[in-house]
Amino acid sequence: MSQNKELKVLFIGDIIGRTGRRAVEKILPELKKEFSPNLIIANGENAAGGAGITEKICHELHSIGIDVITAGNHVWNQKEFLESVDRCENMVRPANYPPGVPGNDNIIININGVKIGVFTLLCRTFMAMVDCPFRTGKNIISKLKKQTNIIIADIHGEATSEKYALGWYFDGDVSCVLGTHTHVQTADDRILTKGTGYISDVGMVGAYNSIIGVEIEPIIDRFLTSIPRKFEYEKKGPVLFNAVMVNIDIAAGYAKSISRISRLIDVDEKGIA
């Protein structure tokens, strides 16, 4: 940990497909030198072919330096993951799925003697109905508070208003509320009044010349015709890497700063360019 007793957290936006994974692999050594993060978290729900995640990919992401993986509404797109999610260490699926759903709804990770709680919630506006993220979040926070005052919440949702509402609702109870899902990095990173770091959406690690990481033409065609089309993640061209750095006061559990990261990386499907 840094001498001024700060925990430095690098949180990476939604990783899309193999291209996104290769981009993370390529840039992480550079970011480690630049920012010296103590903890690296990434949303991995689109890491398998652009939709879902697998046990193998969880292990791959850990092997390249990601400590904790969060998920969202696409977590079950790879059907076999229902059977293997419980074997994936340091991964959290959305906490507000109904009781009985497999996987961790929260975790505590120990970094050099400092305990950090991590959980993720699905929003409900314009998304599938799940249990209340507000009430579920408060229950998870109460459990985590018994062991640590450093808590990181990934809020996975469409509506900025709902994410902001959750940010203010959890203000002072968690170290940061970091939005995911829309794949577009927002410019509203800030510290809320009671010390919680906030951003509506961290962004993505996906093709720069795309529509939120997906091939352009099929999406335009669907808007023009309303005919369903199969979407594939874009594999060509530079990759946009979005993340945030959050510095957290270890003693107080509050965010001291939050800042956006946005880089373009050259990667191809056959390996690192």
Helix intervals (H) in 41-174: 55-63, 81-84, 133-145, 160-170
* Active-site residue list: 74
Reduced 3-state DSSP string for 170-209: HECCECEEEEECCCCCCCCCEECCCCCEEECCCCEEEECC
* CA–CA gap between residue 35 and residue 242 (Å, rounded): 15
129: left (phi over 0), alpha (psi -120 to 50) or beta: beta
Q: Terminus-to-terminus CA distance in the chain, angstroms?
A: 33
Backbone φ, ψ for residue 122 (5° rounding): -90, 135
